[in-house]
A and B are shown apart, each in its own frame.
Chain A
C-alpha cells in the first residue's frame, strides 16, 4: 500500500504562529515523498482541533501522521489516541517539537523557522519507516511465592492471600517468626514481641490460602512477571524432596544477619567471658535469665553502640534504639544496676524516639560519647578503655559488655539475587529499583523486596514495606486480568548474532539468555523494558529496538542535521 503522510502544523495560538513562518515550513515539506497533505491549524489540542485531525485522517485516507507542535510531554498521548480513534496504528505517528525547541528559545524568526523545517522533515523521514506495533496481552498467574517466614514475609502473605490468590511461604528454618522471636519487647512502645509474632504465626497457619513450607529453600526461579516457576527443596531430609509452583510474583523477605564482632579484636568478643552480642542478650533477657557466666547477677553493664559500623560503612539505624531498649530491660529487671552506654552519634530518627531516649536516662545510667574503644580483661573484671570528648583516655570496669552490632545482608542474598536476576547494592543488600520512588520493587518486574533484606530497618518500617509490597502486587497482578508488556522492545536477529554475549552483560533486566545449541543470544520480549543498552553494545548489529531501528534513526538524523 502506498504511504500517505499527513503533516499538520499547530499554530498554538500566537505561540508558534508569531515565532515561526508556518507557511514556509509547509512549503518546505509539501514536496517531500509520500507527503499527501501539509497544512496548519490554530490549536490542534483543542476539542475542535482533535475532531479536525480525526476527520482529516479519515477523509484523506492517511496512513501516517506527523504533527509539528509542542513537546511530546504535553500532547504525544493526545495525538496517538486520535490515530487510534481514526483507525491507524498509533505508532505510525511522529511529533516534531517546534514550540519548546524552536519558537520559545529564540527571538530570531528565521532561525526558528529553519529549525522547525528540519525537525518537521526529520519527523517525516522517520515516520515513513515506522511499522505498526501491536499491544500484546498475556495471561498471568496471581499466586505469590514469598521467601522468608519472618515478620515481613508473614505480613506480606497475610495481606496478599485470598481465595483467588494462593501464597507459598517458604522458610529456611523449622519455624516461622524470624529474628523477632528472640525479642521480648519492641521499641519505643515496649509491646510484647512474643504476642505480636504469635498472632501473626496463628493467622498465617490458620489461613487456607497460605501454604507454609518450613525447612525449605528456594533452589530455582525461572520465568517472568505473571509467569514465574519456583522450585523449593526440603533441606532436612536425605532425598531432598523438591516441589515446584507457578506464581506471578516473588517476594524476597529474607531478613538480615548481625555483624560478627570477632572480626574486630578490640571488642574482645569470643575471647572474654561476659562479652555478648545484642542478640545473645535478647535471648538471655527473654529467658528471664540475665546472668554472668558464673551465675551471678551483673552489677554493672556496658552497652557498646555502632559495633562494626566502620567496617560496614553505614549506620544500621536501629542499634541506638535497641540499645536504649536494653537500658529499659536492665532497669526493669535489676533495678540497682549501673549502665553505661558508649556511642558515637545518637541516631533517633523517628517522632517518638527522642522521648524514649530522654525517659530512659537516669542516675545510674550514663551516655558517653567516644571515638575509639577497647575492651580488655585484666584480673576478673572487664575493662573498657576509650577516649572521651575532650580527648582524655578513660577506663571503666564492668561485669558485662553488650555489643550492638551492625545489621548485614543474610548469607542467601547473593544466591537469591542471582535466581531472580536482581542486583545487590554496594553494601550487599538487595538493590531496590529506585532509591526514592521504588523502595520495594526491583529491576526484575514481579520481584519485590521487603524488610531488612532491602536494608537495616525497624519492625515498624519492615511492616510498612511488607504492606507496600502487597500494595504493589495487588494493584498490578489482578486475578483474571491480563498483563500488557512493553511494545517498544529489543529483538536480536538470529542470523546476525555472533554469540559474543556482550548484550548479556549490559542488560539490567535479565532479558537476554544464551542459546547454547544455536550459539546465539535471545531476548525475552515479554520482560524487556526497551532501554536499548543491548542495541548500543552489540558489535554485529544483531540487536535492534522496535520503534528505534537503525533505519528510523538514520532517516531522522539525516533530515535533522545534514
Chain B
C-alpha cells in the first residue's frame, strides 16, 4: 500500500471546507496531499459564519475538528501563504511550481500565546472582520483561527517599511519571530489536481441604489456575520455604528442577481438565518425581509422558513428597491407584489449579495489549462457526466469555484472529486 511513487501525490488548491474535506479523504487512502492555501489560516469562508442553516449548528465547532485533523495529518503537506505559479505535464505527471511567501513566524516554535500582538505599534483595519475592527501588523485573523500561528503583514509592518522596529521579536519568548525567512519556490510532482478556491461576494458598491458605504448601518451579509460572531469585532453584540441596539432591521435578498444573471442558491436561506440571528440577540426587534423569489431547495429548508415566518417577521416580495438616509434612520422604498409603492423605515439594513467568482479565478484557470464559463466560474466539461470534471484530464473543480452552492453540496463535490481520482487509479481499471 505504501510503495506509491511520488506521482500518486495529489495537489489540492484552497484550504476551505472543500479542500480540507478532499485532503483528509485522500490522506485516509494513503495518498500524500499537498494542500495550497493563499491565506495564513485554514477554513476559508465557512469559519466566518457563527452558525449554519438549517440546524443552526456552530460553524466553527463543526469545522475546527477537521482543521485540527488536517494540521496533525502526516500525509498532508499544508503550504500556506502560497499560490500556484505554473503547471506543466499531463495527468499522472503534472509538474507544479508553487510560490510560498514567508510568514516570518516559525510554525514549530510559536505556541500561539499572542504576546507579540500588544507591543506591535501598527494598527490597521482587519480585512477578515470586513474592516469592522483593527489588527496589528503581526496578527491572526480572529480568535480560534487555525493554525494558531500569527503572520507578519509586510505591507504594514514598520520593519518591512524600512523602520527599525523589532517589538514583536523582543516580546516573543520562543524565538519564533524570524525576519530572515525568504520567499520559497517549491516544485511538486503530482498525479491530479483538485481546485477548491471558493468564491467572493458581489460588491454592493456596484449597485449604488442600495446605499452601501454611503449610509451608516447598511451592512453586507459578511459584515453582519462578523457582527454576530462571538469571536468577531463586537463579541457578537449586534449594534449600530453609534453603539445603540437596532429596534428594526431589513434584510434585502438578491443583491446583484440582475447584474450577474443567476440565482446564487444560498442567499434566501442565509437571509432567513439572519432573522434568527437578530431575534436571538434582540427578541423585540422588528424585521422585514425583502425578496423576489424564495429559493429554498433542500429537504429541510422549508421547515426552517416556516419557523422563521412564525417569529413575526414581515416578508415582502419587492421590486424597485431604493435605500436612502432619512434623518437618523434608513428609508427603503419599493414596489410590493400588488404593484403598490411602499416605504419602510428601519435602523439597520443587511444586504445579501450574490456569490461571484474569486478575483484571481481566470488567472488560475490559465495556469491550470482549464476555462471559466461566461459567468466566470470554472467550467465543467459536461454536467451530465460529472460537474467536477474539467476538459483537462486530471484537473477537478469543486465547491463554489464551480458555481454557487451550499456547504452540503460543496462537501459532496469534494467527496466526488476524490471518488473520481481514486476510481481512475484502481488496479486493472482503464482511466
Q: Hey, which bits of chain A sit against chain B, CB under 8 A?
A: 12-15, 43, 45-47, 70, 73, 77, 159-160, 162-165, 186, 189, 191, 196, 309, 313-317, 345-355, 369, 389-391, 425-427, 429, 435-440, 455-456, 459-461, 463-465, 467-472, 474-476, 478, 480-481
Contact = CB atoms under 8 A, between A and B. Distances in A.
Interface in B384-429: 384-388, 403-409, 411-420, 422-423, 426-429
Nearest to A151: B384
Given A474-B426, A480-B1, A13 B111 contact: yes
A110 B383 CA distance: 64
A315 B339 contact: no
Given A13-B111, A349-B265, A351-B403, A162 B427 contact: yes
B123 interface: no
B270 to A, nearest CB: 13
A456 B298 CA distance: 7
Contact of B52 (A350, A436, A440): A436
B384 A463 contact: yes
Contacts of A427: 299-300
Interface stretch (B54-62, B215-223, B229-237, B279-287): B54-62
Contacts of B294: 345, 347
A35 B296 CA distance: 60
B413 to A, nearest CB: 6
Given A13-B115, A426-B303, A435-B300, 7 more contacts: A315-B298, A345-B295, A467-B417, A471-B418, A471-B420, A474-B419, A474-B426
B299 A389 contact: no
Contacts of A186: 383-384
B383 A460 contact: yes
Contacts of A309: 302
A351 B388 CA distance: 14
Contacts of A464: 386-388, 409, 412-413, 416
B contact residues, range: 35 or more
5 contacts: A45-B111, A73-B68, A435-B300, A436-B57, A438-B411
A475 B25 contact: yes
B293 A345 contact: yes
Given A13-B174, A159-B420, A455 B299 contact: yes
A323 to B, nearest CB: 14
Interface of B: 1, 17, 21, 25-26, 28-30, 52, 54-55, 57, 62, 64, 66, 68, 72, 108-109, 111, 113, 115, 173-174, 257, 261-263, 265, 293-303, 306, 337-339, 373, 375, 377, 382-388, 403-409, 411-420, 422-423, 426-429
Residue from A313, A438, A475, A481 with most neighbouring chain B CB atoms (10 Å): A475
A314 B302 contact: yes
Given A460-B383, A464-B388, A455 B298 contact: yes
Contact of A349 (B29, B108, B295, B408): B295
B113 A162 contact: no
Given A351-B375, A437-B411, A471-B422, A456 B297 contact: yes
Residue from B28, B108, B298, B377 with most neighbouring chain A CB atoms (10 Å): B298
A351 B402 CA distance: 9
B295 A348 contact: yes
A548 B417 CA distance: 39
B111 A12 contact: yes
B412 A468 contact: yes
A429 B383 CA distance: 25
A467 B420 CA distance: 7
Contact of B418 (A14, A15, A43, A475): A475
B338 A425 contact: no
Contacts of A191: 382, 384
B115 A440 contact: no
A-B pairs, top 8 by smallest CB distance, nearest first, are A471-B419, A468-B415, A317-B297, A467-B416, A470-B419, A349-B265, A351-B403, A471-B418
A355 B57 CA distance: 34
B423 A470 contact: yes
Contacts of A43: 111, 174
A460 B385 CA distance: 8
Contact of B408 (A15, A316, A351, A436): A436
Residue from B25, B29, B68, B416 with most neighbouring chain A CB atoms (10 Å): B416
Given A345-B293, A354-B262, A390 B416 contact: no
Contact of A350 (B64, B174, B265, B418): B265
B1 A481 contact: yes
Given A160-B423, A425-B299, A437-B62, A349 B263 contact: yes
Given A14-B173, A314-B302, A349-B295, A391 B338 contact: yes
B265 A460 contact: no
A464 B297 CA distance: 17
B412 A317 contact: no
Contact of A317 (B257, B298, B405, B426): B298
A77 B72 contact: yes
A432 to B, nearest CB: 8
B298 A351 contact: no
A261 B388 CA distance: 36
Contacts of B115: 13-14
Nearest to A463: B386
A476 B30 CA distance: 10
B353 to A, nearest CB: 15
B386 A353 contact: no
A354 B263 contact: yes
B25 A472 contact: yes
B370 to A, nearest CB: 16
Nearest to B336: A389
A53 B96 CA distance: 40
A468 B428 contact: no
Contacts of A425: 299-300
Given A351-B404, A355-B261, A314 B300 contact: yes
Contacts of B26: 475
A480 B3 CA distance: 14
A351 B373 contact: yes
B295 A467 contact: no
Contacts of B302: 309, 313-315
Contacts of A47: 108
Contacts of B377: 351
A429 B298 CA distance: 12
A164 B113 contact: no
A467 B28 CA distance: 17
B408 A435 contact: yes
Contacts of A435: 54-55, 57, 300, 408
Nearest to B410: A436
A45 B411 CA distance: 33
Contacts of A469: 415, 419
Contact of B426 (A46, A73, A164): A164
Contacts of B422: 470-471, 474-475
Contact of B386 (A160, A350, A429, A467): A467
Given A314-B301, A435-B300, A162 B429 contact: yes
Nearest to A450: B412
Contacts of A440: 412, 415
B262 A162 contact: no
Contacts of A354: 257, 261-263
A163 to B, nearest CB: 4
A236 B269 CA distance: 46
A471 B298 contact: no
Contacts of B413: 464, 468
Contacts of A460: 383-384, 387
Nearest to A193: B384
Contacts of B419: 159, 467-472, 474
B250 to A, nearest CB: 20
A347 B298 CA distance: 11
A471 B415 contact: yes
A436 to B, nearest CB: 4
Contacts of A314: 298-303
Contacts of B300: 314, 425-427, 435
